[in-house]
A and B are shown apart, each in its own frame.
Chain A
Amino acid sequence: MIKKRFIKYWILTVALQALAITWVMAQNTLQVVTRTVTREIPYKPGDSLLVEAEKATVQISAWEKDYISLTLRLISKHNKLEVAKEELGFLQFKIGKTGVTHQLKNYFKSDVGFKKVKGILLSEYELKVPGNLLVTLKSQYGRANITGLESPVKVDTRFVELELIECKASQEVLAYFGNVNMVSTEGVATIDLQRSDFSLTSHAGKATINSSYGKVKIRSQELTGLEMKGNKTAVEIFANDLKSYHFNLSALYDRVFTPLGILRGIDDSRFQTENAGKAPTIRIETTYRPIELNLQNNVADN
């Protein structure tokens, strides 16, 4: 009798546990509704592209075809499918052309009296463009990756993690609260940063950097010149050796750190080299934060 009662309780316990686990799993599961828009946009030489993204992931890469391929995904997530489907309607987009500029835009639109979404809304752009297309990206809150462009690119971001990879013409970047990562780029780079972290790796060409409250890391052996003005920005620079560039480094109210064994003047907030020859100049001025110079080769060789 006791045994039977025990089995009953045991079955009841297991059933309740299974129910609880199922409920918890249901709570941890998001229903994802995606609206996908695809377009093939004709391209003529001289055309440009303006992308205005909000809370979006933007991926732009160059290809050899003579048209722009757009895949735009508007995504809504919520525990309940019905809510996710309903809130997807808040995500809107525009595709148009003004003059020679193709325009793409995503935005949020709600009825009067709207207070707050219950789920999560986001957009994803996947763009393949002719390499010669002039691209301008304005983006806030999200991520962006631009790869392989052979024409000038302009980027204006707020709270965006940005990557520019193998862009071969000029790059103009304006970033507010973001991480900017440039790798294997060429040409003239003009970078304006506020409260952002910036990394310039293997850039072949000139670079002009203005930075306020941030961190800048430069690791490029093929620079033809670098001018940087920093305000409360820490700088870390890597070079092969002291002969690679003329260094003119100044960290007002802080220090310039150099590898051990390098002769320095009394003022540790400045460091300057006077090499003969046609080595490009790296001039960096910052305040309240240090500059750190690292050399790949042995200091004794310098």
Chain B
Amino acid sequence: MSEQINNPEDQPADRLRQKIRSLDHEAPQMSWDQEALWEEIQKQQTGKSRIWIRVAASVSILIAAALLFYTQIPKTADLSYSVESTMVVSQAEQDLSWMEADALEFIEHNCLEALIVCNKPEFKALRADLESLQSDIDQINEMIEKYGEDPVIIKSRTQIEDLKNEITNKLVQMVLS
């Protein structure tokens, strides 16, 4: 006791030591049932994994539902996409329209001078054909503006232009004869 008084700093430590010693005798033996403990752990683990399975399933269902909804949107339901290769065609066409305009001016100019040939039925019929063909070309150009420069339409226009050139040439020959 005198030591305790002499060394006040040691008092709490000694008290604690004594208390522990007394507890050593009073404390029950630490023991557990290992099998029961493992069962408990397994139960808890199984419960957790069940929850995760439920969460995963819910997410999957949500994703599937979202995909189904997305593919059922009317605007995209009947659309399909593909790719096709095409030939590059040079657009640098020579503009020969001035030659045709020259030829037509030549015909007009000569017919103003009251050439007999200009009053012949065949000549008149050819000129009417020429006007009709020009109307066809105008219509085809409208189609090209609407549907694009598709080979089918370009082919039709070429066909008419060839015919128009042929008729223009015939008219020039008739005027010259």
Contact = CB atoms under 8 A, between A and B. Distances in A.
Nearest to B149: A120
A108 B146 contact: yes
B20 to A, nearest CB: 78
Given A29-B85, A195-B163, A35 B78 contact: yes
B88 interface: yes
Interface string B140-151: 100111111110
Interface in A99-136: 108, 110, 115-122
A177 B153 CA distance: 12
Contacts of A77: 84, 148
B82 A34 contact: yes
B86 interface: yes
Interface string A69-82: 00000000100010
A85 to B, nearest CB: 8
Interface in B136-175: 136, 140, 143-150, 152-153, 156, 159-160, 163
Nearest to B163: A195
A121 B81 contact: no
A122 B81 CA distance: 15
B80 interface: yes
Contact of B85 (A30, A122, A142): A30
A31 interface: yes
Contact of A177 (B80, B85, B144, B156): B156
A121 B149 CA distance: 9
A32 B81 contact: yes
Interface string B59-97: 000000000000000000011111111111000000000
A81 B145 contact: no
A30 B83 contact: yes
B87 to A, nearest CB: 7
Given A34-B80, A141-B153, A119 B85 contact: no
A141 B143 contact: yes
A28 B149 CA distance: 15
Nearest to B78: A36
Contacts of B140: 159
A53 to B, nearest CB: 12
Contacts of B149: 120
A119 B136 contact: no
Contacts of B153: 55, 141, 159
A116 B152 contact: no
A183 B163 CA distance: 28
Given A36-B80, A37-B78, A177-B156, A55 B85 contact: no
A141 B85 contact: no
Nearest to B87: A28
Nearest to B143: A141
A117 B143 contact: no
Contact of B152 (A35, A119, A142): A142
Interface string B6-28: 00000000000000000000000
A30 B149 CA distance: 14
Contact of A28 (B80, B86, B159, B160): B86
Contact of B83 (A32, A116, A141, A142): A32
A30 B84 contact: yes
Contacts of A30: 83-86
A28 B88 CA distance: 6
Given A27-B88, A142-B152, A55 B83 contact: no
A63 interface: no
Q: Taking each of A29, A37, A159, A177, which has the highest tally of chain B beta carbons within 10 Å of its own beta carbon? A: A159
Contacts of A116: 144-145
A90 B86 contact: no
Given A28-B87, A35-B79, 14 more contacts: A30-B83, A30-B85, A30-B86, A34-B80, A36-B79, A37-B78, A81-B81, A117-B145, A120-B147, A121-B146, A122-B147, A141-B153, A159-B153, A177-B136
8 contacts: A33-B80, A36-B78, A36-B80, A55-B146, A81-B81, A117-B146, A117-B148, A141-B147
List 5 tightest A-B contacts by C-beta distance, closest first.
A120-B148, A159-B156, A116-B145, A108-B146, A55-B147
